């Protein structure tokens, strides 16, 4: 059973994600890839935080600051394809925010198809998160 505070935080996160997915869809339709990437990255980060919140079931929220830890949490609890999207979105976001680095560990372009795929995967993640909330666990 999830603590009341955890359940409320996760429900708030679900609402935030649903709202952002609508906005992302319009960004994709308008061919505004930079905005779509930014908001998709935000959605994926919020999914990771919510998964960890459900796992920990703590009254106090613990923000995850390490990006590799976020990728690993996503990979362990949902699957590789979602973690790969988070990594692609992070690298694409870095190009838009900081310019194109020579080092591909930190930035890389993302294709329109990847953006659409990550959007579809984000919708799947939303459903997975709803199931986790319903069960009260990530397993």
Supply the pTM of this predicted model.
Answer: 0.88
Pull the structure tokens for residue 34.
């930079």
For residue 2, what pLDDT is reported? 86
Euclidean distance between CA atoms 36 and 93, whole angstroms = 10
Which residue segments constitute the domains of the chain, with CATH numbers given?
Answer: 4-59+66-135 (1.20.120.330)
pLDDT tens figures, 65-80: 888 999 999 999 998 9
pLDDT tens figures, 6-50: 999 999 999 999 999 999 999 999 999 989 999 999 999 999 999
55 burial level (CB within 10 Å; 0-12, 13-18, 19+): middle
For 65, the enclosing helix (H) or strand (E) is: none
């Amino acid at each position: 059973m999830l603590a009341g505070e955890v359940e409320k935080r996760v429900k708030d996160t679900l609402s935030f994600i649903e709202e952002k997915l609508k906005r992302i869809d319009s960004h994709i339709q308008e061919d505004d890839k930079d905005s779509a990437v930014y908001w998709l990255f935000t959605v994926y980060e919020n999914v990771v935080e919510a998964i960890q919140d459900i796992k920990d079931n703590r009254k106090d929220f613990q923000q995850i600051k390490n990006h590799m830890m976020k990728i690993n949490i996503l990979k362990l609890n949902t699957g590789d394809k979602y973690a790969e999207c988070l990594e692609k979105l992070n690298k694409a976001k870095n190009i838009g925010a900081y310019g194109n680095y020579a080092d591909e560990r930190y930035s890389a372009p993302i294709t329109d198809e990847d953006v659409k795929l990550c959007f579809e995967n984000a919708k799947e993640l939303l459903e997975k998160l709803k199931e986790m909330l319903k069960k009260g666990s990530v397993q």
